[in-house]
Amino acid sequence: MRMFRFVLVLFVLPLSSCAEIEEFQLRNALVKAIDDYRLVSDQVQLGDKKERVLAILLPTQKSLPAGTTRIPDQFVKDGAKVEIHYIRSGWTRDGLTTDDEFTPYIFNNGVLVGVGWTVLGGPKTKGERTPEIVVR
């Protein structure tokens, strides 16, 4: 029985370390993307062409792993082609990817006409922070 416990510990310990390393790498990738975004976001102005805006913003997102980005939306409204690109601008450590972690950039016919959730009526999903309790 002791040998079984010893072998179990030998196999479980490295697995928990791998999970911690993956979480650390994910957190670093998210923080880097958010910091990079904040450095360049003020270079974008309403009226800018979509190509210019995305050339500034998309490079800030290149460190993000799959599952942490959001696919753009597009549709036609009142004869205008509307495209919404979502840029990772925040992160809540809750294991979810929610609307409030992105800033939407809204383009009509290739021109930036809006930035932020107010234009869209607010985020549909929000992350929830859970308090961390430290017991000493």
Residue 7, pLDDT score: 52
Q: How far apart are CA 98 and CA 30, in angstroms?
A: 14
What residues contact residue 71 under an 8 Å CB cut-off, 6+ apart? 86
End-to-end CA distance of the chain: 33
CB 64 within 8 A of CB 33: yes
The pTM (predicted TM-score) of the whole model is 0.75
Q: How far apart are CA 127 and CA 136, in angstroms?
A: 28
User: What average pLDDT does the segment 47-69 reach?
Assistant: 94
Q: Which residues pair with 114 in a beta bridge?
A: 106
Name the CATH topology of 2-120.
Answer: Beta-lactamase Inhibitory Protein; Chain:B, domain 1 (3.30.1450)
| Domain assignments of the chain as residue spans, ordered by start | 2-120
Residue 44, pLDDT score: 98
pLDDT per position as a tens digit, 38-56: 999 999 999 999 999 999 9
Residue 128, pLDDT score: 63
Q: Is the pLDDT of residue 76 over 70?
A: yes
Chain centre to alpha carbon of residue 39 = 16
